[in-house]
Amino acid sequence: MKYVDIHTHILYNSDDGSESIEQSLEILTIAKKHHVNSICFTPHCFINNPPDMQEVIAKTNILKEKINNNINSNINNNINLFYGCEIMIEDTLPSFIKKNEEMCLGEGNYVLIELPMFNYPIYIKEVLYQTRLKGFIPIIAHPERNSHIQLETTKHIKDIIVNGYIQINAGSLTGRHGELAKKTALKLVKRNLVSFVASDSHNDKGYSHMDEAYNIYRELKGKEKTDQVFFYNPYKALKGEYIEQVEINYIKKKQKA
């Protein structure tokens, strides 16, 4: 099976990920060995300190060229590269993304949004709704790593799925991010709330989890649904195509008599 990876930090000198062009090329070589078909570079973006997108585009083009010409690399030329951003949630995100459309993933209108690790943004519902009203579709990156969501998954996850999609990390499924993250990730998978699995790789170790995560997922949900979240949905997101939303269930309240 091939993978489409929409969440990586392997564009050199862009954030806390890859540190040199050689390292980036090396990681791409490893990715190719693990059957990664397409990769989207998503450097971290803080709204008060955003990355220079012209630079991101330029670096992506350099890597594309290197791969195509096979200079300094033994990668076959059939790995597709895209760029976008992983944006830290902020109440001003909707208007920010409207002004910076090139931060959407690939060629579409999907936005990768990161939550803080130890805080829960109470404005998340409003932000996701306003983002949708502006014509963009939010993807929440690894919610299983947020400590509040780990503790109260059902309560918080409803805020996300009404207007957004969920991306979990391959490393969460395999236990790299700890037991709680693993437990939460499995819970989300079992309830069919996950739309994407991505590597979130910062270095060459990121892709060693991909196959294991794929097998864990397939064990739980079968091949068809697994291919959906590892390949078809991410591909559609990069192309800006419609992805079927997860089923929303009514909030259970005691019926008044």
Task: Give the interface with another protein as residue ranges (CB under 8 A).
Answer: 125-126, 129, 132-133, 135, 137, 162-163, 242, 248-251, 253, 255-257
26 binds Fe ion (CB under 5 A): no
Q: Closer to another protein at the Cβ: 92 or 249?
A: 249
Q: Which of 67, 200, 226, 229 binds Fe ion (CB under 5 A)?
A: 200
70 contact choice in Fe ion, another protein, none (CB below 5 to 8 Å, kind-dependent) = none
Residue 85 CB, shortest distance to Fe ion, in Å, is 10
Which class for 35: exposed (0-12), middle (13-18), buried (19 or more C-beta within 10 A)? Answer: middle
Residue 100 CB, shortest distance to another protein, in Å, is 20
Q: Closer to another protein at the Cβ: 71 or 257?
A: 257
Q: Closer to another protein at the Cβ: 66 or 191?
A: 191
What span, in angstroms and rounded, lies between the C-alpha atoms of 164 and 113? 10
Mark 60-99 with x for binding to Fe ion (rule: CB under 5 A) and - for no binding.
--------------------------x-------------
User: According to DSSP H, which parts of the chain are helical?
Assistant: 21-33, 53-69, 93-99, 124-133, 147-151, 153-161, 170-174, 179-190, 210-227, 233-239
Residues 133 and 108 sit within 8 Å (Cβ to Cβ)? no
Residue 169's φ and ψ, nearest 5 degrees, are: -90, 145
Q: Closer to another protein at the Cβ: 118 or 250?
A: 250
Residue 257 CB, shortest distance to another protein, in Å, is 4
Antiparallel, parallel or unpaired: β 165-169 and 196-198: parallel
Residue 216's φ and ψ, nearest 5 degrees, are: -60, -45
Residue type for 255, please?
Q
Q: Closer to Fe ion at the Cβ: 86 or 159?
A: 86
Site stretch for Fe ion (CB under 5 A), options 173-181, 195-203, 226-234, 246-254 = 195-203
Closest listed residue to residue 170, CA positions, set 157, 189, 156: 189
Q: Closer to another protein at the Cβ: 117 or 133?
A: 133
Q: Residue 167, CB half-sphere, CA atoms under 13 Å: how many?
A: 28
144 binds Fe ion (CB under 5 A): no
Cα of 236 vs its chain's centroid, Å? 13
Place of tokens 């409207």: 98
15 binds Fe ion (CB under 5 A): no
Residue 226 CB, shortest distance to another protein, in Å, is 22
Which residues of this chain interact with Fe ion, rule CB under 5 A? 86, 200
